[in-house]
Every structure is written in C-alpha cells, then in structure tokens.
C-alpha cells in the first residue's frame, strides 16, 4: 500500500475507535450522576434548584471529556494534518 492509503486507513480506524472507547467513560459517568440526582430529588425535593444546577455543571464537566474525544475524532477525519501534508505533497509532486 502506498503512504496515502495507509494514512487514510489509520485515520479511519482511529477516528472510529477514539469516539467509541471514549464514549464509555462519559456515558457511565453521566448515567451515574443523573441517577444520583434523581434519588437526591426524591429524598429532598426542596433542594431541587441546587441539585439540578449542580447536576448540569457536573454533566457539562463530564461531557467535556467526551467532547475532547469527538474533537480528536473530527480532526482525524476532516482536518488531519498528516493527510493534508501527504495530499499537498502528492499535488505538488
């Protein structure tokens, strides 16, 4: 296989695996946070405002980790510096 194919192949596989593996942690973490929020609401309905506000801040923090993975995955698919270099090189050849 020539260089371009190898880099394309590797970018595809890595883009997929990055978001796939990277979704495990945030999904578990968010599920856990939401679950506790619900049982906290059931236990102390008066504190609903504080609880939901803290929940949303927390979910945003956890979601940020998933977004790091999504960003890397999108960079690999659509703004891959190594692919651009190879394309440029092939064009300028």
Q: Which of residues 22-51 bind its own copies (CB under 8 A)?
A: 22-48, 50-51
What is the closest distance, in whole angstroms, from the C-beta atom of residue 93 to its own copies in the complex?
A: 13
Nearer to its own copies, 85 or 93 (CB): 85
Distance from C-alpha of 63 to C-alpha of 35, rounded to nearest angstrom? 16
- In angstroms, what is the minimal distance from the CB of 78 to its own copies? 6
Q: Are 55 and 37 in contact (CB under 8 A)?
A: yes
Sort 54 into a burial class: Cβ within 10 Å, 0-12 / 13-18 / 19+: middle
88 binds its own copies (CB under 8 A): no
């Amino acid at each position: 296989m020539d260089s371009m194919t190898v880099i394309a192949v590797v970018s595809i596989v890595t883009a997929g695996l990055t978001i796939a593996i990277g979704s495990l942690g945030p999904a578990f973490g968010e599920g856990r946070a939401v679950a506790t929020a619900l049982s906290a609401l059931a236990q102390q309905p008066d504190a609903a405002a504080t609880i939901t506000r803290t929940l949303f801040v927390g979910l945003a923090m956890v979601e940020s980790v998933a977004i790091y993975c999504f960003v890397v995955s999108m960079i690999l698919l659509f703004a891959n510096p190594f692919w651009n270099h190879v394309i440029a090189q092939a064009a300028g050849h």
